[in-house]
Structure 1
Amino acid sequence: MFTRSIVAGAVATLAIAGAVSVAASPPSEEVATGVTVTAAGVEDDGVDCPVTLPGSLTSDSRLPDPFTKINGSRLTAKSEWRCRRAEIKRLAERYVYGEKPPKPSSVTGTVSSGNITVNVSQGGRSASFSAGVQLPSGSGPFPAVVVIGGFGADTATIRAAGAAVISYDPLAVGREGTPRNNKQGAFYTLYGSASSTGLLAAWAWGVSRIIDVIEQSGGSVLRADATGVTGCSRYGKGAFAAGAFDQRIALTMPIESGSAGAPIFRGLPGESGSQPLSSAYGEQPWLGDAFGSFTSNPATLPVDTHEVVGMIAPRGLFIMENPHVDWLGARSGSVAALGGAEVYKALGAGGNISYWSDVQDGTHCASRSEWRTPLQQSIQRFLLGTGSAPAVFRISSRKAGNLAEWRTWQTPTLSDGPTDPPPADPPPADPPPADGCTATASVNQWTGGFVATVRVTAGAAAVNGWTVTATLPSGATIVNSWEATRSAGTGTVAFTNVGHNGAIAAGQSVEFGFQGTGTGTGMTPGCAAG
């Protein structure tokens, strides 16, 4: 059907010349080493990695280097990617999506040939939701693809390839049409309607809870080790986030995800006709509340979506885009795929990522014949463990991005062994007080505005409720806050915990934040428990 070539060469050609309709397959040694099917057995294998967020942010119009750690050192071994991924995950949560909490204290449910029920409890709060199941022909247990939102996915091909379809209504978990300070759905029942976490992370959390229930079900109907996720348009945004934040997902397939999905944030303001970041942030609370500070200056973001693509590596990824609808930002999407493919290549899994925007039909979320074969190949390889991955880049000439314009970094050759001497541990934090609580603030300042992140730490005894008091610099005004209730917008402001983050175990911390105009530097917050 198309000429096959090594992915490294294909990516380089596309990046330099904006070439189109290029197919790529991994080097033969990648196939031989069996890296093509790789899903982790846990939701987050980097949970033990220490991550210290940067104290301040700097503006850079080029894409951040996915291979440079927060401390400035560069990766030298593949084994370092686990904790580098943990850094990218934390940056993405803090500045883009909001936090995706881990598995709640209680997750129960049932799996049948027609339905999945999910019951969750955390901190005295409970919620439930369900999803439909359609099995393929044959005998189970079956792999399954979670279809978010119910449209745009080629469910007939998914089932014909041998996978079940799980029909997941994300609006039961995170409802659209709600204000940011009063979000609704199962996720916000547990974590509070004022949670700063956006809908995309909430929807991804719902996919993870479905996988929890499948894992607990005994595997008579569905396989817990072979789950994919897909969705189109806003639900493509959700599929992209779900695959990035849960390493148990073996195959991620976002379709026409647009702004707040795969396309790089830095590219969208300059891509004619694409949905502006302010629109994507304001249309629905898809993105985390903190992202509001970056809608007009994405160059200040310490992370971009090519690194979110990298979070999925080395697992299966098939990105499908539509170059005929300018609003979808497919040029910026191709740059994200090309940049993320560099991570796949460095990990020796270049054949595990595919991208296809070279389609004839311009209808949004149509079921396209061009995608049918690579979709089937992806399911068979990453969920059934048979055949070969499509390993193809087909970029439309209508929306061809050029990675060379967006990066100053080069892809390292990573060794297979352990890294050379590990970087020094971060300096120890100041010891907590004997009792009560302390508060520290970090400020991201730009011309005319700032975002402050405040960390509240309990002392030697647990804290049940807290109030942080800070005096704003003259002329500063708070325009938005999250994870705390504030008493005022100027002058001396008292921030009080919201319902779900008032209880802090001894020595542990929680964070809240606020956005303001003017200057935020120089604040010295104080904390009182109770």
Structure 2
Amino acid sequence: MSVTTLSAPAGAVGGPGAAAQLAPGVEDDGADCAVPDPGLSPANSMLPDPFTKLNGTRITAKSDWRCRRAEIKKLAEKYVYGEKRRKPESVTGTVSRTSITVNVRDQGRTSSFSAKVELPSGSGPFPAVIVYGGFGADTATIKASGAAVISYDPFAVGREGTPRNNKQGAYYSVYGSSSSTGLLMAWAWGVSRIIDVIEQSDGSILKADATGVTGCSRYGKGAFVAGAFDQRIALTMPIESGSGGVGAFRSIARESGAQPLSSAYSEQPWLGDAFNSFTGNPNSLPVDTHEIVGMVAPRGLFIMDNPHIDWLGARSGAVAALGGAEVYKALGAGSNITYWSDVQDGNHCAVRSEWRTPLQQHIRKFLLKTGSDPGVFRISSKKPGNLSEWRNWQTPTLS
């Protein structure tokens, strides 16, 4: 199979420990940015310019990205995923060598859930990767690389199989079963509460500043959203996330065989209720997933895709990753994003030999902070993405 291989773009950061300062240590670094209420913009068949603010001006400095990211966040919450509620009034819990418990109180309501912990060999404290639902990056490789595995059951926080007006799980126990927030964002909220508890622990078992997240299929959608909306996550690793995941909405709608947006919206209440208005006309969305990719920048992002199953829309995944990589480049962090769809095994959510070495490299670089391997784009010739077909904007040189 021929493959497009791109090494780290110019302006990439490198060197041992280069990733150490990438996660700002707060869930939402731009929470204090003044963001106007985003209205709908005119329909646009091209990917929106991630560098143009809501007021129509373009950002000129790397420092401008912080509040531009806050605008993208608000657009994504309003039109795609639903609101992610901020940290509750009270989050308590425990971290042991085998489990994490989370107890939440907000607005007079309470909920709780727990997650299993598996530690690697050694004395610790350890970085950790939160694995959605038992399906994500290979847990044996994660542990062998020196990171703990936190097994997270997203259904405890947002259950599938429920109608949109009667959502269930820890998130909805607090914020209401008729909340317009979709499951992906509820799951992301749960990940953030796990990180809260790790931060509050004594740090003897798990490191608070070295958390990754991964998942495959629906859980890949979840891991992508979790990483985009919590800046404490140092490494985000979505796998085969398909429609409603990494794949650009505008491209999904035109990719032959990809799961239609209407199907992804109705299969489960993954996406926010407001997204229903755009399933047939994604050109009217004022945001797209390349900008959600950009929300992760400059932190570590390793996107894994499967070009053998049309339903997964890997061509659209490549388009979104290439578009989001422009944000990474503009921030001087081009070596911190990897997209890899050049794989031989077509089985959904398989453990793949091609991903083992880059997985090890990403854990070293972003969680152990001992590596400096550059990111790469290995795009399968079966599902190539062509960013030039989808953008009418150029990437600025930011001061």
Both proteins in one fold, TM over 0.5: yes
Separation of aligned partners in 1, 2:74 and 2:23: 20
Equivalence for 2:220? 236
Equivalence for 1:31? 14
Equivalence for 2:258? 274
| Cα displacement (A) at 1:35 | 4.6
Equivalence for 1:525? none
Equivalence for 2:282? 298
Separation of aligned partners in 1, 2:213 and 2:284: 30
Residue in structure 2 matching 1:121, options 105, 113, 116: 105
Residue in structure 2 matching 1:221, options 196, 205, 216: 205
Which residues in structure 2 correspond to 1:485-524 (within 5 Å)?
none
Equivalence for 1:251? 235
| Cα displacement (A) at 1:54 | 3.2
Which residues in structure 2 correspond to 1:46-61 (within 5 Å)?
46-61=30-45
- Contact kept? 1:118, 1:129, Cα under 8 Å: yes
Residue in structure 2 matching 1:63, options 25, 31, 47: 47
- Contact kept? 1:35, 1:348, Cα under 8 Å: no
- Contact kept? 2:25, 2:231, Cα under 8 Å: yes
Equivalence for 1:85? 69
Separation of aligned partners in 2, 1:35 and 1:76: 24
Paired residue total? 397
Separation of aligned partners in 2, 1:216 and 1:393: 37
| Cα displacement (A) at 1:294 | 0.1
Equivalence for 1:131? 115
State the one-letter code of the partner of 1:377: Q
| Cα displacement (A) at 1:288 | 0.2
Residue 355 in 1 paired to residue 339 in 2?
A: yes
| Cα displacement (A) at 1:265 | 0.2
Residue 199 in 1 paired to residue 183 in 2?
A: yes
- Unaligned residue ranges in structure 2 (runs of 5+): none
State the one-letter code of the partner of 1:356: W
Deviation string, structure 1 residues 219-250 (Cα, Å, up to 9, x no partner): 01000000000000000000000000000000
Equivalence for 1:145? 129
Which residues in structure 2 correspond to 1:380-459 (within 5 Å)?
380-415=364-399
Structure 1 stretches (4+) deviating beyond 4 angstroms? 26-29, 32-35
Which residues in structure 2 correspond to 1:296-335 (within 5 Å)?
296-335=280-319
| Cα displacement (A) at 1:74 | 0.3
Equivalence for 1:20? 3
Residue in structure 2 matching 1:103, options 87, 97, 109: 87
Higher normalized strand content (fraction of residues): 1
Please give the secondary structure, in 1, of the residue aligned with 2:149. Answer: strand
State the one-letter code of the partner of 2:266: G
- Contact kept? 1:115, 1:132, Cα under 8 Å: yes
- Contact kept? 1:152, 1:366, Cα under 8 Å: no
Higher relative contact order (CA 8 A, sep 6+): 2
State the one-letter code of the partner of 2:7: A
- Contact kept? 2:227, 2:233, Cα under 8 Å: yes
- Contact kept? 2:319, 2:386, Cα under 8 Å: yes
- Contact kept? 2:90, 2:104, Cα under 8 Å: yes
| Cα displacement (A) at 1:151 | 1.9
- Contact kept? 1:35, 1:349, Cα under 8 Å: no
State the one-letter code of the partner of 1:159: K
State the one-letter code of the partner of 2:328: Y
Equivalence for 1:509? none
Structure 1's 189 and 73: CA in aligned 2 closer, same or farther, altered over 3 A?
A: same
- Contact kept? 1:39, 1:250, Cα under 8 Å: yes
- Unaligned residue ranges in structure 1 (runs of 5+): 1-18, 416-530
Separation of aligned partners in 2, 1:49 and 1:238: 26
Structure 1's 56 and 151: CA in aligned 2 closer, same or farther, altered over 3 A?
A: closer
Please give the secondary structure, in 2, of the residue aligned with 1:336. Answer: helix
Higher normalized helix content (fraction of residues): 2
| Cα displacement (A) at 1:40 | 1.3
Separation of aligned partners in 2, 1:342 and 1:296: 27
Deviation string, structure 1 residues 453-491 (Cα, Å, up to 9, x no partner): xxxxxxxxxxxxxxxxxxxxxxxxxxxxxxxxxxxxxxx
Please give the secondary structure, in 1, of the residue aligned with 2:3. Answer: coil
| Cα displacement (A) at 1:388 | 1.8
Equivalence for 1:459? none
Separation of aligned partners in 2, 1:157 and 1:334: 25
- Contact kept? 1:230, 1:236, Cα under 8 Å: yes
Structure number with larger C-alpha Rg: 1
Equivalence for 1:184? 168
Separation of aligned partners in 2, 1:300 and 1:155: 40
- Contact kept? 1:36, 1:349, Cα under 8 Å: no
- Contact kept? 2:43, 2:284, Cα under 8 Å: yes
Structure 1's 26 and 284: CA in aligned 2 closer, same or farther, altered over 3 A?
A: same
Please give the secondary structure, in 1, of the residue aligned with 2:84. Answer: coil
Equivalence for 1:5? none
| Cα displacement (A) at 1:32 | 5.2
Equivalence for 1:210? 194
Deviation string, structure 1 residues 267-319 (Cα, Å, up to 9, x no partner): 01111110000000000000000000000000000000000000000000000
Separation of aligned partners in 2, 1:66 and 1:123: 35
RMSD: 1.3
